[in-house]
Amino acid sequence: MHALGNDYIVINEFDGEKVKNKEEFSKKVCRRRFSIGADGVIFIQKPSSNNYDVKFRIFNSDGSEAEMCGNGIRCFSKYVYERILKKNPLKVETKAGLRVCELEVEDDRVKKIRVYMGKPSFKCKDIPVKSEKEEFINERAELKNPYLKEVNITAVSVGNPHAIIFVDDLEKIREHLDVIGSEIENLPIFPERINVHFVKVLNDKEIKILTWERGVGYTMACGTGATASAVVSNRLGFTKDKVLVHLDGGDLEIEIKDDGAYMKGDAVMVYDGVMFREAYEG
């Protein structure tokens, strides 16, 4: 499945066979050209308590498990509604806590999904960021790569960690995104690494972002990243509480309310497959 070109292999463990070593499996099947190829793998599981309808787990293409994934949870909820459970809204257990997916359905097909993304946290201990300060807002960081010497970072958690950097020229960053993005992802101040987003503010209702994801690299879109970017833009006074976020793969609507952030967008079912052992062994 994919959501705005952020592509995931979705595996039904709710009523299907379970994958034993999920880290190793995800690393293998996400290799483009050698296997199926994807930005990550999503597992649908039975929830651990009656507080939830279903459980969501997401592994990046490098095998690391993330707490949450915005594009992934839209794919997941479409799959769950169309094939497993006709529940709407859907209460989803994630490593980041409860996420609620409201589904717009037409002729039994899920067209759009609005997701409650939880309450963002700017606290260094929640993200985490190694700093004496309580929050890491617009802090200067020096870089070693030859293309970008320093950046001003605001760090936020929307369940998973994000570094937001405002720039005027996204295309200049894009030319060397692999070098710049991976340096920031792995800065020692971020002990669990971090997702990196370069943000251009277009006006007080629209932003454009370029993403480098922790454990993946460049992706065409990041739902938690779009949420984090909108939250930071709002906190710094650049945008209002409803923002249209333009990503390389398409647009997402983000709304910031008193109880937390909401993300709305679509998801696409691409194909069903039967995988051969050679695709994930050896």
Q: Does 6 bind ligand LBFN2T5F (CB under 6 A)?
A: yes
Q: Is the dihedral of CA 257, 259, 261, 266 positive or negative?
A: negative
Q: Does 224 bind ligand LBFN2T5F (CB under 6 A)?
A: yes
Q: Does 239 bind ligand LBFN2T5F (CB under 6 A)?
A: no
Is 94 annotated as contributing to ligand binding?
A: no
Q: How far is the CB of 274 from ligand LBFN2T5F (least distance, A)?
A: 26
Q: Does 213 bind ligand LBFN2T5F (CB under 6 A)?
A: yes
CA angle, residues 5, 121, 40, in degrees to nearest 5: 25
Catalytic residue among 69, 75, 101, 124: 69
Pick 100 or 204: Cβ nearer ligand LBFN2T5F = 100
Q: Does 60 bind ligand LBFN2T5F (CB under 6 A)?
A: yes
Is 171 annotated as contributing to ligand binding?
A: no
Q: What is the DSSP string of the chain?
A: -EETTEEEEEEE-SSSPPPS-HHHHHHHHT-TTTSS--SEEEEEE--SSTT-SEEEEEEETTSPEES--HHHHHHHHHHIIIII---SSEEEEETTEEEEEEEEEETTEEEEEEEE----B-BTTTTT---SSSB--SEEEE--SSS--EEEEEEEESSSEEEEEE-S-HHHHHTTHHHHHHHHHT-TT-TT--EEEEEEEEETTEEEEEEEETTTEEES--HHHHHHHHHHHHHTTSS-SEEEEEETTEEEEEEEETTEEEEEE--B--------GGGT--
Distance between CA atoms of 280 and 51, rounded to whole angstroms? Answer: 34
Q: Does 63 bind ligand LBFN2T5F (CB under 6 A)?
A: no
The yes-or-no answer on residue 124 being catalytic is no
Q: Does 115 bind ligand LBFN2T5F (CB under 6 A)?
A: no
The yes-or-no answer on residue 69 being catalytic is yes
The stretch among 113-121, 129-137, 211-219, 243-251 that binds ligand LBFN2T5F (CB under 6 A) is: 211-219
Instruction: Report 138-167 residues binding ligand LBFN2T5F (CB under 6 A).
Output: 160
Is 67 annotated as contributing to ligand binding?
A: no
Pick 63 or 70: Cβ nearer ligand LBFN2T5F = 70
Catalytic residue among 30, 75, 124, 222: 222
**Interacting residues toward ligand LBFN2T5F by CB under 6 A:** 6, 58, 60, 66, 69-72, 160, 195, 213-216, 219, 222-225
Residues within the annotated binding site?
6, 60, 70-71, 160, 195, 213-214, 223-224
Residues within the annotated binding site for substrate?
6, 60, 70-71, 160, 195, 213-214, 223-224
The set of catalytic residues is 69, 222
